[in-house]
Amino acid sequence: MTEAGSIIAVGDTLVHDVNDLTSVVTSVEIGQYGIFVQSDCRGTNTLRYFPCELPPVGGKVYDFYGWAFRSQMTLLNEVVLGYVNFDTYDSRVGNIAEYDKEWERTIEAIRKEEMPAGCVPVDPARMRG
What does the pLDDT read at residue 5?
61
What does the pLDDT read at residue 3?
53
What does the pLDDT read at residue 67?
95
Domain boundaries, the chain: 13-115
Considering the entire predicted model, what is its pTM?
0.82
What does the pLDDT read at residue 2?
46
What does the pLDDT read at residue 53?
87
Between the alpha carbon of residue 40 and those of residues 10, 21, 116, the distances in Å are 11, 11, 43
Phi-psi region of 118 (alpha: psi -120 to 50; beta: other; left: phi over 0): left
- What pLDDT, in 10s, does the model give residues 68-122? 999 999 998 899 999 999 998 999 999 999 999 999 999 999 888 876 555 555 5
Q: Of 8-12, 84-88, 104-108, 124-128, give the lowest mean pLDDT range.
A: 124-128
What does the pLDDT read at residue 117?
59
- What pLDDT, in 10s, does the model give residues 23-75? 999 999 999 999 999 999 999 999 999 999 898 888 889 999 999 999 999 99
What does the pLDDT read at residue 98?
96
